[in-house]
Structures are given as C-alpha cells and as structure tokens.
Structure 1
Amino acid sequence: MAYQTNKNWNTRQQSRAYVYGNLSPVREPSFEPVRREEQEPRRAPSRKTRQNRRRESRISGSYVFFLVLASVIAMVICVNFIKIHAEVTASSKNITKMQSQLSELKEMNNSKEGAIMDPINLDQVRDRAINEMGMTYAADNQIVHYANPSGDYIRQVEQIPKEGMLAYAGN
C-alpha cells in the first residue's frame, strides 16, 4: 500500500512539475483517434468511374472556342473603355483650356470697354449734338409709347404698328 501511495504522489508531482519555456506542458490524450483507413478499407473506383473522370478532365474544343471568344470580347471591351476614357480626359482638358481662354477674352474685353468709355464725357456729347449738329430734344407729340414685352431695348428698323401702341401724342 505504501508503494501505491508513493506512486500516486510521484504521478501528482510530475503533473505539477514546471517546464521552463514559453509553452506549458502538453498532456497526451488518453485515447488515440481512429483513422479512417482503419474504419473501412478504401475501394478502388470502378472502370466506368475512372472513364467518367478522365472524360470530365479533358477540355472539349467547343469549350476552348468559348473561352477564346469570351477572352476576345473582354479584351475589345477593355480597349474601348480605355479609348473612351482617354477621349473624355482629352475633352476635359480641352474644355478647361477653352474656359481659361474665355475668361482671358472677357477680361480683355472689359478692360478695352473701360478704356473706350472713360474718356467719353456725356455732357460734351450733348453740347456737341445740340450746338454743332443742330439736334434738339423730342417734343411731347413726337414720343410714341408702346408695350415692350421682353424688357430689353429695341432697335427700330421699320415703323411701329398702330395696334401695338399704348398711347400716341401726335397730330
């Protein structure tokens, strides 16, 4: 009996023993898993099964043709996409360039308009028109009022029809 107690004490002592390193002691399982090969022997496939597997592993000509055709179509789509993307990029750059040219032209036009309008004195124009050219202000009977639907100025090229006038202060 003393032998068994000593044996149990020795087993407990070993299970509590510290192992130096980064892993704790790994206990071995009390059973060993049953291997599949031991459970049932593997049968060799039948001749028909081997023929079917061989036939399925081969690639048929129609499948190769389909793969080549799909590859060509994918390649054409990719090339067209890249071409269209390049055209859009070029158009975008062209639009940006034209917009900068437009802004430069507008700025130049505004500066020239300012240079033209600055030296003009409207009082001098009125004095010259009245004194040198003999122009006079319009009399009340010479003014024709008409409906202007657009709100913009109108350049008169021909006579204004009587039905479009709101009031006429004439003879």
Structure 2
Amino acid sequence: MAKEFKKGYNYQYDSTARAYEQPIISPVPSTEPLKRPRKAQKKKLDIAFGMQLSFCGVVLFTSAFLYINSYASLRAKQGQLIELKNNMIAVKSAISETQATISEKLNLDYIRERAANELGMREPLPHQIVYIELSEESYTSYEK
C-alpha cells in the first residue's frame, strides 16, 4: 500500500464514478448581428450639458479677465496717485521755501544791511533829500 502512495495512485475502494449526463444540444444561435437601440435622448442631454458647461466656462473666464483687468488698472491708478502725492509734497516744500526767502528779504532791516554792506550804500544826508508835491490828478489813489 505504501508503494501505491509513492507512485501517485490515489484510489479509494468501494467508490463509484458519478453519473455523467449528456449535455443538451442547444439550438444554433442566429448569425444576424444584434442591433442596439439608440439612445437619442441621452445624446441630446449630453449636448445640452456640454453647452451649459461651456457657457459656465466662458462666464468664469470673462469674470476672471474683468477682475484681473480692473485690479491692474486700480494698481496703476494707485501708483499714479502716489506719484502725484509725492509731487504735491515737493511743490508745497518749494512754495514754503520761497515764502520764507521772500519774507526774509522783505524785512526792512535786511534791506538796509544789504544796501550798506554789499552795495556800499548809505542813508542820504538831510540836504540830499528832496520832497515833491504831486496833485491828486497825477496819481491813482487806491484807498478811496
């Protein structure tokens, strides 16, 4: 018995084979190809969905373009505004410097000092002063 197991025989005594049934021969299928029904409504729905999706894409692109365009123009205007503010500050500074120079040079003491030191002028002596009387018709009066 050990030799039988070594050879690979695996036989069981008192066993019988199953009853083999003959297959039933089925009729030969037809050779005509099967036609699938067309789904026209689904195709229409797909086209409608594609159109809606395309429209949403166009709207999204347009709104993004307008937003970026308005943001860029806003940044450009802000840059111009900052430049104008800097120019305005520089002009105000120049105006205040000019006003300070004018107020300094309109001072009577400054005028006397400059005339005496830089230009070599002196105050006139009493015999050098001449007084002239003018009639009212020869000049314009602003106080009346």
Task: Report the TM-score when normalising by structure 1.
Answer: 0.38
Select the structure that is richer in strand. 1
Task: Report the TM-score when normalising by structure 2.
Answer: 0.45
